[in-house]
Structure 1
């Protein structure tokens, strides 16, 4: 019974860290894109913004899941939670950096296309980079 209780509390704790990373990812994405994501997504129903936030969420979840799976149970719950948070933040930072680099290197500004009401193919480039970065960071953890 103690194992079930401990594992239940650990799952809740890891869930809390995962939610925190996803919230930070949303805020970070909001900071690097023009306009307010809340308005773009829920009021304007902007597909470009939805795609970018969805990809960021998936990339973040991939990193957090891999960090949880790679945390050694012998190091303890606290250290496992800390490593999950650190790796999650590293993943978010690298995703933000890739967004900014792509935006810098392409002829048009992806950051402005995301706030455009018309779906734009360049948003897929940035969204794919978010998921790809999540996979790369996840692979580095295994």
Structure 2
């Protein structure tokens, strides 16, 4: 029975950490794009903003999953490494966003929240997934 209770505690800790990292990802995307992300997606039904945020959440989730899957036997060390890799992934996705913004015409944040569908959102979303895959592969 103590194994179950111990497992529930560890799962709760990793789950809480994962939720915190996802929230940080939402905040980061909100900071990188103009307007309020919640309003853009839920009130204005902006597909561009939804795709961009979804890719960041999927990428962050992939990094957290990989980090937990390959975690250390030491619970504290595993939790810390998951937090570190998750934060690194968020930073790297933000840097990739800024680099794409620098090398493409226009202001990327504005393009990505435009109500009209834009192909740049798919490029940026793919960049998020690619960066998270690279971080995930480096964990294993």
TM, length-normalised to structure 2: 0.97
1:98 counterpart residue number: 96
Structure 2 residue ranges without an equivalent (≥5): none
What is the root-mean-square deviation in Å for CA atoms of aligned residues?
0.8
What are the residue-to-residue correspondences of 1:1-142 with 2, within 5 Å? 1-73=1-73, 76-142=74-140
Aligned-pair CA distance for 1:69: 1.3
Alpha-carbon distance in 2 for matches of 1:23, 1:135: 20
Aligned-pair CA distance for 1:5: 1.0
- Aligned pair count reads 140
Aligned-pair CA distance for 1:12: 0.8
TM, length-normalised to structure 1: 0.96
Alpha-carbon distance in 2 for matches of 1:11, 1:38: 28
Aligned-pair CA distance for 1:82: 1.1
